[in-house]
Structure 1
Amino acid sequence: MGICATCGNDYENTILVVKDGKEYEFDCFECAVQELAPVCGQCGVRVIGHGVEHEGNIFCGAHCAHRAGITVLVDHG
């Protein structure tokens, strides 16, 4: 039995994720996303796909980067 790092649920089939050398235990993928996925610097959505990054700022896509005034980024093809 393990305890989910996000919601605290005690669950026997937890998922172990290692990120940057730190271990996290989750009861579902949704909790892992909530805890570990970066947030778009423009709209605030969790970035679970590729996203785009500029000077340490993460965006869900080029459209949000453009809205933030960063016009050099394009979406991954």
Structure 2
Amino acid sequence: MATCETCGNEYDKTFTVISDGRSATFDSFECAINAMAPVCTHCSCRILGHGVEASGKFYCCAHCAHKEGHSALVDHV
């Protein structure tokens, strides 16, 4: 059994996520999200969808990007 890197649970059905050269093992999507999902620069929520990016910063939606002065951004459809 492997151990979840977020909660420490030992589980026989863990999975590994590889992103930007970083590899981590988790027992649930919830733990993976908490460890690896980017955070919106404006509202601090976890970005679970596409989000938007401007000047190297990530936003959960165009509304939050607009609040930070990036008025040209639009949500992905």
TM-score of Structure 1 vs Structure 2, range by shorter chain: over 0.9
Which consecutive residues of structure 2, in runs of 5 or more, have no partner in the other structure?
A: none
List aligned pairs for 1:14-25, cutoff 5 A: 14-25=14-25
Runs of 4+, deviation exceeding 4 Å: none
- 1:72 deviation in Å? 1.2
Alignment partner, residue 8 of structure 1 = 8
| 1:15-50 Cα distance to aligned partner (Å, 9 max, x none) | 111112222100000000000000000000000100
Alignment partner, residue 66 of structure 1 = 66
**Aligned positions, number:** 77
Rounded Cα–Cα distance in structure 2 between residues aligned with 1:18 and 1:2:
16
Identity, in percent, stands at 52
Please, what TM-score do these two structures have when normalized by structure 1?
A: 0.95
Please, what TM-score do these two structures have when normalized by structure 2?
A: 0.95
Rounded Cα–Cα distance in structure 2 between residues aligned with 1:52 and 1:8:
32
Which consecutive residues of structure 1, in runs of 5 or more, have no partner in the other structure?
A: none
